[in-house]
Structure 1
Amino acid sequence: MTAARTLWQRVPTPVVDLVLAAVAAVDAWVGMWEHTGAGVALAAVGCVALAFRRRFPLLVFLLTLPIALTQDVAIAVLVALFTLAEGSRNRRLLAGCVALAAVASTAPLPLMDADRTMTLVVFVYGLATAAAPVLFGQLLQAHRDLARRLVEIEEAREHERALHAQAVLARERAQLAREMHDVVSHQVSLIAVQAGALQVAARDADAKEAARTIRSLSVTTLDELRTMVTLLRASGGNATELTPQPTLADLRKLVESSGTHAHLTGELPPTVGTPAQRALYRTVQEALTNVRKHAPGATARVELWQDGDHVGVTVTNTPPTRPSLSLPGSQQGLVGLRERADILRGTLNAGPTTEGGYRVRLRLPLSAD
């Protein structure tokens, strides 16, 4: 089954469309009740239109619909319905197209003096026949959505595992730094002190030289230990002065690498304080992360603005274009942003928009420090 599917996927789409158009043409010619000039012309238009079914699915369906007036079951109509259902999420439109196809297949019966019971039976049969490709197309659409969401979930899990591994490594480095500072540095300091005392007290020249060497090496080792402890604490999160904090200058890179269709507009004055810049950056970071997790396919707009003595940022996203699955989360992101805003005497508002999207808005005093 997998080999057959792989082989089918390798066939160029124009070839597939041309084959379907040819098959539909043969079916229309064989199944046509009467080969009139108008009927043949309409069937030819509908079959040729199948070559463009991927670009104009609704128009192609309408062009193939007259074929249903000339035969019982038209392959061209079923193919057009399947293509429309595979790409459309409008259930009302699909239901209307199914009903329209059933009506088209039933319309010739009154002209043939068929009784009402026969007409009703043919109409129900036409509904069932037209609904089958629509249901199959919707099934394939749901399968693609589920596969896409599974990939996104796996990427999110990989990202969380990487963050967890980094956090564990940071804690281990911080613990190692404490051990080196509290134990190793203390012991080396004692060695240096004892070597200095021995250098002063020793009368033998060789002993003095050995003590001096031990003391010199101990001092050098202490300097290297202090450097290593500083680096370990920085990577462990305890020496923030060695780990540059994000600023407004990093916003554009954040937006471009967020994994969403986001656009940054506006600018802020250079007088914005460093704490305020970090708060603005973290707000945008959290908002875009939520868009990626909870609104797949949505577009986002990041707007920097100034209102008198206040500055802020507004992140607004459109409704998702694909179904979203529930992803695990701490539910603490917005809570932490509000706490950060309160510390800086600002406000943070978040909530859904009337269009079905979501908006996060941070407002801070220009003098926040």
Structure 2
Amino acid sequence: MKKILIDIGLIALAGLDIWFNPLTGKPLGIAVAVLGCAALALRRRFPLLVVVLTLPAALVQGALVAPFAALYALAVRSRDRRLLIACVAVSAVIGAIPSPLDEDPGDLAGTLIYFGYTLATSAFPVVLGQLVQTRQELRQRLVEIEDAKEHERVLHAQAILASERAQLAREMHDVVSHQVSLIAVQAGALQVAAGDDRTREAARVIRSLSVGTLDELRTMVTLLRASGDDTTELAPQPTLADLRTLVANSGISVTLSGDLALSVGTPSQRAIYRTVQEALTNVRKHAPGASATVELWQDGNDVGVTVTNTAPSRPSLPLPGARQGLVGLQERAEILHGSFESGPVEGGGFQVRMKLPILADQVG
């Protein structure tokens, strides 16, 4: 509606311009003037055509408003500088030469002087239109830049969230699942060895609750890992000095060998500790009665740990697993540019081995 009102007002203004300053009252002149004014309604869709249709009105009736409005509309929508210059030149020539319907041809000097005037006035709407177009493009560019910045902020926030979810998933498995698994194993052992029904029932309930908790943890860890990526660690973080306590509290027979004072940084110590923790947890869960050896070693510019357990001496209790432990260890090794291997060994046992370059201590 607003555009329609603007069109009506502009056409009326162009008509008044010709009405008060007509060069001729002949029917041809009036028809040309009406065509030029009416064509302004199409200036948004066909700006070049409207410029052409308004030029006869400028030639025959000396119209100013109609050709100026047409030139402005063309300049706002076109970046073709040669076309705009040509339109300005043609409009200036049309405005300067005498009307063919006028019986007085005028003089050459007056025509040239008037040409300079019309050239300047014809250039004004084109320059103004180009400035408006540039302003619109700058405004659009600023909007695009803001949208791009907002998109980058969203992606950055999502990346941080994904990283935190991965960290949380790893720590839930390494710490919480480790402790709950130990509770379930100890409760199962108590259930088998208890001498009275009340104790066995209490052990059964504890084991049942532990198993349910492990199931819930498995689901939560899977969901968190679905959108996470391992990049950093949560504090507090264990070191090699904590391995003796880990082995002592493991509940199985473990032989620890190697130098606990290896000259490695915190990221590598963290990864080695988690490897031993995961391996011993798996021994308790899947190889009851088995013994294990934990060997810390250094080979040139590489350090690592190897955990090997013997075959189980009795059947294991059915406990759910998060199925993310070995995956997490593989990811830790890759982050530190190392390698991780796991698999069965001769005699029915199982072995995990993590190897890390000493330069990896600079990562994390």
- What TM-score bracket applies, with the shorter chain setting the length? 0.5 to 0.7
Q: Is 1:165 aligned to 2:162, yes or no?
A: no
Query: 1:43 maps to what in 2?
Result: 33
* 1:81–1:133 contact (8 Å) kept in structure 2: yes
Query: Which of residues 76, 97, 109 in structure 2 aligns to 1:107?
Result: 97
CA deviation string 1:244-281 (max 9, x = no partner) = xxxxxxxxxxxxxxxxxxxxxxxxxxxxxxxxxxxxxx
TM-score, normalised via structure 2 length: 0.57
Please tell me whether residue 132 in structure 1 is matched to residue 132 in structure 2.
no
**Letter of the aligned partner of 1:205 in structure 2?**
D
Residues 109 and 119 in structure 1, CA contact (< 8 A), matched pair in contact too: no
Amino acid at match of 2:68: L
Which position in structure 2 is the counterpart of 1:181?
173
Q: Is the contact between residue 59 and residue 99 of structure 2 (CA under 8 Å) also seen in structure 1?
A: no
Distance 2:26 2:5 in 1: 30
Q: CA RMSD in A?
A: 2.4
Which residue in 1 is equivalent to 2:305? none
Q: Counterparts of 2:22 and 2:99 in 1: how far apart (Å)? A: 14
Deviation at 1:106, TM superposition (A): 1.3
C-alpha separation between the residues in 1 aligned to 2:107 and 2:23?
15
Report what 2:185 is aligned to: 193
Distance 1:148 1:50, change over 3 A: same
Question: In the TM superposition, what whole-angstrom CA distance separates every residue of 1:333-362 from its partner, at most 9, and x where no partner exists?
Answer: xxxxxxxxxxxxxxxxxxxxxxxxxxxxxx
Partner residue in 2 for 1:259 = none
The CA distance in 1 between the partners of 2:21 and 2:209, in whole Å, is: 99
CA separation in 2, counterparts of 1:123 and 1:109? 14
Q: 1:168 to 1:22 in 2, by over 3 A?
A: same
Superposition pairs of residues 223-262 of structure 1, within 5 angstroms: 223-237=215-229
SS in 2 for 1:97: helix
Q: 1:211 to 1:133 in 2, by over 3 A?
A: same
Q: Which amino acid letter does the alignment assign opposite residue 185 of structure 2?
A: V
Higher mean C-alpha displacement, 176-185 vs 24-33: 24-33
Tell me if structure 2 keeps the 8 A contact 1:185–1:222. Answer: yes
| Matched letter for residue 159 of structure 1 | H
User: Hey, what's the Cα distance between the residues in 1 that align with 2:220 and 2:6?
Assistant: 65
Q: Which amino acid aligns with 2:197?
A: A
Q: State the TM-score, normalizing by the size of structure 1.
A: 0.56
Q: 1:86 corresponds to which residue?
A: 76
Match of 1:30 among 20, 26, 30: 20
Structure 2: runs of 5+ lacking an equivalent = 231-364
By how many angstroms is 1:112 displaced? 4.4
- State whether residues 103 and 123 of structure 1, in contact with CA within 8 Å, keep that contact through their aligned partners in structure 2: yes
Distance 1:109 1:20 in 2: 24
**Compared CA separation, residues 95 and 135, structure 1 to 2 (3 A):** same
1:1-369 map, 5 Å: 11=2, 13-70=3-60, 74-108=64-98, 112-114=105-107, 116=109, 118-237=110-229
1:10-67 Cα shifts (integer Å, max 9, x gaps): 62x2332232222211211211234344323322221222232223222221121122
What code does the residue aligned with 1:27 have?
D
Q: CA deviation digits over 1:102-143, x for unaligned, max 9?
A: 111111299644352x43332221111111111222222222
Preserved contact between residue 71 and residue 105 of structure 1 (Cα < 8 Å)? no
1:108 is paired with a residue whose SS is: coil
In 2, Cα distance between equivalents of 1:66 and 1:227 = 80
- The secondary structure found in structure 1 opposite 2:227 is helix
Cα distance between partner residues in 2 of 1:71 and 1:43: 7
Q: Structure 2: how far apart are the matches of 1:198 and 1:34?
A: 117
Q: Distance in 2 between matches of 1:49 and 1:196?
A: 93
Change in CA separation of 1:70 and 1:30 when aligned onto 2, cut-off 3 Å: farther
Superposed CA deviations along residues 262-308 of structure 1, whole A, max 9, x for unmatched, are xxxxxxxxxxxxxxxxxxxxxxxxxxxxxxxxxxxxxxxxxxxxxxx
Offset from partner CA, 1:170-189 (integer Å, 9 cap, x none): 11111011101111111111
Instruction: Give the structure 2 partner of residue 271 of structure 1.
Output: none
Give deviations 1:66-122, integer Å, cap 9, x for gaps: 222346661111111111212222211111010011111111299644352x43332
Percent identity reads 61
Assess if the C-alpha contact under 8 Å between 1:78 and 1:133 holds in 2.
Answer: yes
Unmatched runs of 5 consecutive residues or more in structure 1: 1-9, 239-369
